[in-house]
Amino acid sequence: MRSRYTAYVLGLENYLSKTWHPATRPASLNLTEDPTIKWLGLQIKYMEITGETTATVEFVARYKIAGKAERLHEISQFVCLEGCWYYLTGTYPG
């Protein structure tokens, strides 16, 4: 999770694509087309290994866009394939 956050901060679309499960990976991320985002920090709220090859991570990422502070609160599902962890999907808690 921390490496994917860092990849967003640095605009590393290739890394994000490689660490996204092929079943749910978008065709393109277009990070350069988004308005300028300034990432401010990541807080891992909870992490649990849920099975031999699955895990859940709840996090809050803070950022500014067009000068306005925002936060992304997500519960992410990861799956391990051949020793590598891949982001599968995420939900936003109410």
Domain ranges of the chain: 2-91
Give the mean model confidence (pLDDT) for residues 27-56. 91
What is the topology classification, in CATH, of domain 2-91? Nuclear Transport Factor 2; Chain: A, (3.10.450)
Flag whether the pTM goes above 0.75. Answer: yes
Give me the pLDDT at residue 35, please. Answer: 66
- Give me the mean pLDDT over the 80-93 stretch: 96
Task: Tell me what percent of the residues of the chain surpass a pLDDT of 70.
Answer: 98
Residue 7 CB neighbours (<10 A): 19
Q: Which residues, in sequence order, are CB contacts of 60 under 8 Å at separation 6+?
A: 42, 43, 45, 71, 72, 73
- Residue 33 predicted with pLDDT over 70: yes
